[in-house]
C-alpha cells in the first residue's frame, strides 16, 4: 500500500474525451522531441511509449457482445508502483522511489543496461539512444515538489485527471466507481489498488481492465526472480544427479562385464 500522504494521480476514463492535451503538455513541459510516426490504423499516436514520449493515450473501439458500440480511451504512462519492477530490477540504484512514492531514474548513475525496460509490465520505461540511459515519466517531480500539479493534470480540460494525496484520490476513485455502477456501468472498477503493491496512479474504468489493454494479473519482479532461482536450483539438482546416476550406472555395468 502506498503511504496515505504520497503523491498520486487519478485518471477517470469515464470523463476522458481523448483529446491528448495531457500528452502534448507532457512533451512541452519535459522538453521531449516530437517523433516521426506513421498511421498505424488507430487514433493512438505515437502507437507506444518511447524515451521521448512518456505519456500517450490509447484508444479501443469495437462492438460489445450485446451489439453496443464502444470507444474507450486510456492513459498510457508510468503507474509509479509501490513494488515497482523497474526499481527491483535496477542493478545500480539509479531507478528508485523518491519522497512521496514517485519513481524516477537518476540519469547520472544509470548505466543503460535496460533491465527496467524489460521489467515494466506497462512498457513505460524506454532507452534513450542519444544519452545512453533510460527515460520515463517523473510525475513532473520538478513541478509537484514546488507545490504545482503535473503538466498532464494541469492541461486536462474535463477533470479526467486529478492530482493529490493518495488517500484522498483513493477515496475519490472508489466513490466515483459507486456512482458509475449506479449509472449502468456494472463492470466499473478502480485499477491500481492491488497491482504491484498499489500504484500511485489510479484508474477509474467503466469496463474490465483487459478491455483497456491493462495487464490483469501482474507479479512483482522479486517474486518472478525467486521463482526463477528456485526452478534453476531444482533443475541443477535433478539434471546433475540424474546424469551422474546414469553415467555411473553405465560404468558399473561395464565394469561388471569387463
Partner 1 sequence: MITLNFPNPMGEEGWGLWVALYFFLAGTGGGAYLISVLYCSQERVRRAALWAFVGVVLGSVLLILDLGQPLRFANLILGGVYPSSVMWLGTWFLLLSGAGLLWVMARPTSRGVQYLVAFLVALVVAYTAVLLTATARPFWNASPLLPWLFLASSATAGGALLQLLAPHERLKRLVVGMALVEGLMVALHLLWTYPVAQGAVLALLVGPLAWAFWGFVVLGWGIPLALERRHVGLAAVLTLVGAFLLRYFVVLAGQV
Annotated binding residues for [4Fe-4S] cluster, written as ranges, equal 16, 19, 22, 26, 78, 81, 86, 90, 110, 113, 116, 120, 137, 140, 152, 156
Any contact of residue 197 with partner 1 (CB under 8 A)? no
Q: Provide the grid cell at 234.
A: 531444482
3-state secondary structure (DSSP) of residue 206: coil
Q: 197: which residues sit within 8 A by CB, 6+ positions away?
A: 1, 2, 81, 82, 83, 220
Q: Which region, judged by CB under 8 A, interacts with partner 1, from 24-32, 56-64, 106-114, 183-191?
A: 106-114
Distance in angstroms (rounded) separating the CA atoms of residues 83 and 90: 13
Q: Dihedral, CA atoms, 204, 98, 123, 218, nearest 10 degrees?
A: -60
Q: Which stretch binds partner 1 (CB under 8 A): 9-17, 37-45, 63-71, 121-129?
A: 121-129
For the beta carbon of residue 62, count every other beta carbon within 10 angstroms: 9
Asked whether position 111 contacts partner 1 by CB under 8 A, the answer is yes
Pattern 203-242, binding to partner 1, x per CB under 8 A?
A: ------------x--xx-xx-xx-xxx-xxx-xx--xx--
Question: Which residues, 6+ apart, have CB-to-CB distance to 253 below 8 Å?
Answer: none
Q: Are strands 133-135 and 126-128 parallel, antiparallel or unpaired?
A: antiparallel
Does the footprint of partner 1 cover residue 4 (CB under 8 A)?
no
**Using rule CB under 8 A, residue 98 touches partner 1:** no
Q: Which residues bind partner 1 (CB under 8 A)?
A: 51, 85, 88-94, 109-115, 117-121, 126-134, 215, 218-219, 221-222, 224-225, 227-229, 231-233, 235-236, 239-240, 243-244, 246-247, 250-251
Amino acid at each position: 500500500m502506498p503511504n496515505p500522504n504520497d503523491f498520486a494521480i487519478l485518471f477517470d476514463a469515464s470523463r476522458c474525451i481523448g483529446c491528448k492535451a495531457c500528452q502534448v503538455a507532457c512533451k512541452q513541459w519535459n522538453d521531449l522531441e516530437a517523433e516521426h510516426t506513421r498511421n498505424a490504423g488507430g487514433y493512438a499516436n505515437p502507437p507506444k511509449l518511447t524515451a521521448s514520449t512518456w505519456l500517450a493515450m490509447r484508444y479501443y473501439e469495437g462492438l460489445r457482445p450485446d451489439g453496443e458500440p464502444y470507444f474507450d480511451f486510456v492513459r498510457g504512462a508510468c503507474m509509479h508502483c509501490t513494488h515497482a519492477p523497474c526499481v527491483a530490477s535496477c542493478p545500480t540504484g539509479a531507478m528508485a522511489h523518491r519522497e512521496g512514492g514517485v519513481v524516477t531514474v537518476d540519469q547520472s548513475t544509470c548505466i543503460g543496461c535496460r533491465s527496467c525496460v524489460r521489467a515494466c509490465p506497462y512498457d513505460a520505461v524506454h532507452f534513450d539512444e542519444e544519452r545512453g540511459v533510460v527515460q520515463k515519466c517523473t510525475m513532473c517531480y520538478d513541478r509537484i515538489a514546488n507545490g504545482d500539479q503535473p503538466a498532464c493534470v494541469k492541461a486536462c480540460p474535463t477533470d479526467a485527471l486529478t492530482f493529490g494525496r493518495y488517500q484522498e484520490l483513493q477515496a475519490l476513485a472508489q466513490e466515483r466507481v459507486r456512482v458509475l455502477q449506479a449509472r449502468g456501468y456494472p463492470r466499473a472498477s478502480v485499477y491500481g489498488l492491488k497491482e504491484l503493491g498499489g500504484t500511485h496512479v489510479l484508474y477509474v474504468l467503466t469496463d474490465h481492465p483487459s478491455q483497456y489493454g491493462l495487464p490483469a494479473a501482474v507479479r512483482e519482479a522479486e517474486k518472478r526472480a525467486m521463482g526463477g532461482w528456485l526452478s534453476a536450483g531444482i533443475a541443477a539438482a535433478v539434471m546433475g544427479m540424474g546424469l551422474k546416476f546414469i553415467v555411473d550406472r553405465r560404468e558399473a555395468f561395464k565394469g561388471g562385464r569387463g
